[in-house]
Structure formats: C-alpha cells, structure tokens
Structure 1
Amino acid sequence: MILIQLSERQHAIMAFVKKNEPATGDQIARFLKLTRATIRSDLAVLTMTGILDARPKVGYFYSGLEKNPGLFEDIRNLKVSEVMTHPILVPKEMSVYDAIVQLFLEDSGSLYVAEEARLIGLVSRKDLLKSTIAGSNTKETPIVTIMTRMPNLLTIKKTDPVLDAALSIVSHQVDSLPVVEAEDQIIGKLSKSSIVELFVTTLKEEN
C-alpha cells in the first residue's frame, strides 16, 4: 500500500490547521498569502482523503488520517468507470417546465441534452431557476434555448482517475461531469453525491 503524496503547500495547510483548528478557508489563504480560489483544490484533496474534516460555518479540523498508509490506495487507483452512474438524457425539444419536473422526479442536479446518445448540451438546476425567474413561458420554452452547449462543457473519460474527476468537480463548482466516448457519445455521469458516497464508504471501512 502507498501513502498519498502531499505537496509542500498541502503539508503547510495541514500544519496550520493542526495548530489553529478550527481554521477557515480565508484564514488558511491569508497564512499562505494566496487567494481562497488558489487553495481550493488543495483543501479538496485534504478533505476528500480524510486528512482534514470540513464543518460548514465552522472551519477545518485536523483528523490525523495521513498516518494510515493504506487509506488512500484503493481510491487513487479507482477509475471513473467503476463509480459512474447512468446519465439522464433528454431531447433538446423538451420544455423548461417538463425539464423541471424531470429533474425533481429523478432527484438530479442536471439533465444531459442528447441527440442519438451524442451529448449536445447540459441543463442544470441553476439554468432552470434563472429561466423561471426571468419570467419565460416554461411550458413553451425549449431547453435548447437555455442549455450550456458543447464544446463548452467539461467532460471526462471512463478511464480517468476518480480523484482527478472529483477535483474537477470541486474546482469548477459543478454538480456532475458527463462521461463521454468518441464523438461525444455519452455513457455515464460522475456526480457529487457519487463522490461523497465513495469517500464515506471507504472511510467507514477503515474505522
């Protein structure tokens, strides 16, 4: 088993939190003389691997889990194909109203717009909310008019490491990433909830 290799900055963050817990993201950024956005991926690594514990509206706590040399190897070796779930595909002609209904029926954060299984766009909760607030006729407005179109979507491959995909979700602040093959054929999705479930299950097994 191999211990995860932390960067010098991640070691500095860990040391600061150990000494000053609970430490907020702003406090850590000021200590490092960096912006909060710059250290977002570092904090994601440290919390997703269990070294730091993040508590909303409180801050970061040190857990000490980096002392366990076998904790991270399985996660580091996992590929997206082993964790991805089935994507919810909808046609571009679907109305905003029907998309809202579909989103809540599926309890999902986004819908993938496809033509013959080829990804052409994405509609998120935010997109639907903005359209509704703007006063558009939700029963008449097709989602093609509000979706984010390819190639402006961030996508991943089934062979990508799960940890890299998780960091992309955190750094780009999205609910999920579509998994595509050649010619944008969509075969799955990796969501925040899938990532959380993976880390929670792994950490429970180690305790």
Structure 2
Amino acid sequence: MEFTERQEAIIQMLKAKSPLTGEEIANQLKLSVPTIRADLRLLTAIEVLSARPKVGYVYQGNGQTGVDYAALYDQPISAIMQPAPTIKDDATLQEAISKLFLEDVGTLFVVDQKGLLVGLISRKDLLRASFNNSNPASVLASIIMTRMPNIVTVTADMTVKQAGQLLLKHKIDSAPVVDANAPQRVVGRLTKNRLFQHFIEKA
C-alpha cells in the first residue's frame, strides 16, 4: 500500500521515537490534530501504528501484515463462491421445500432440462405458495419461481467489490454465479454471508 507524504512523515517520526501523542505529532508537522486525525486512523487500522490510551501512538510494523485491500476487494468471485443449490423446473413445491431445508439455504436456483438457469425460488416464495396451496405435491416449481430475466446474476470473473456492490444495489441476500460466456449456466452462488466471511478471514 502506498502512503502519502504526510503519512510517511508520521511513520518515520514514530520509528525514531515512540510513543508520541497526537498533539506531539501534529506539532512536529506544524499542523492541527484534526488535520492528521484521518492519517492516524488509517495507519492504526492497517496496523502500522497502534494507539495506546493515555500513552499515544506507537510504531509497530511496516503494514505487511495489515489489511491487504487487493486480496479483499479485487479477488474474483470464482475464488470464494459456493456450490449452487439447484432444482429442476418440473420439481414440485414439496420437493423444493424439502431441498431448501435439507441444504439449509435461503434460495434455490431453478434450471431447465438442459441445466440452464430459468428462475429462482426464495424461502418467501415457498412460504407464500404453501399458504396458497393445500396440496404442495401438485404445484410445480416453475409456477412459483421468479423468472429470468428478473434475476440479478454475477459472473465468476467479477471482483468481490463489483459483486458486493450489485447485492447492495438490488438489496438481495444472494445471487447465482454464472459463466460470463454462457449467462444461463450456473457455476455457483454468492451470498452476503459468504462475503462477510471473506472479509473476516482476510482482515
């Protein structure tokens, strides 16, 4: 990670002498404490500095073990995606309910006989359909699913940042991961929980 001239000056200052308070650092730079506050927060967040209450800031490393932003945001979805829970479009509502709970997922991706994505069934869809139908074995998944093209998909070559922005923009908890060259071929799934897990593991 590249630092600004001011951040480099703070690092060198604390390398030479630690601890220093925020006021001492600001005085040496001939700046105000609010001016350098963002720099101190960043350097502390990536573990170049540590902040000790009533003591000040201490230099503790070169940041190589800090947050690797490239690993966090630029990694392709293919590296973190999970297996896709799919069900055929001629499966019954009862089969869909059983599969959803057995696999403990929030969404099933509906595929046709060629294995191509044609729809999506969420827990809400299944709950609503169950209330409206007394015989789940008589209702097909294709009747209650949300159909293409009304499904937000991500591609395996998208970065974590790009895919995460799509989930946030459309306010959805998961999305099918599809092949960029065959947009109806499902290759995995991405969920908000998986993204959260990725950030915790890499932070």
Q: Using the alignment, how far apart are the partners of 1:152 and 1:83 within structure 2?
A: 24
Shift in alpha-carbon separation, 1:135–1:85, aligned structure 2, 3 A: same
Q: Where do residues 74-153 of structure 1 align in structure 2 (5 Å cutoff)?
A: 74-115=71-112, 116-153=114-151
1:177 aligns with 2:184: no
Unaligned runs of 5+ in 1: 4-63
Measure the CA separation in 1 of the matches of 2:2 and 2:104. 37
Larger Rg: 2
TM-score calculated relative to the size of structure 2: 0.64
Shift of the 170–125 alpha-carbon distance from structure 1 to 2, 3 Å rule, reads: same
**Percentage identity across paired residues of the two chains:** 33
Task: Please list the CA deviations of residues 129-179 of structure 1 after superposition, one character each: whole Å capped at 9, or x if unmatched.
Answer: 111122452121111001011111111111111122122223322221111
2:192 paired residue number: 192
State the Cα deviation string for residues 90-144 of structure 1 (Å, max 9, x = none). Answer: 1111111111110010011111111222111110111101111224521211110
Contact 1:95 1:138 in 2 (8 A): yes
Q: Which amino acid aligns with 1:162?
A: V
Q: Give distance in 1, aligned partners of 2:84 and 2:95.
A: 17
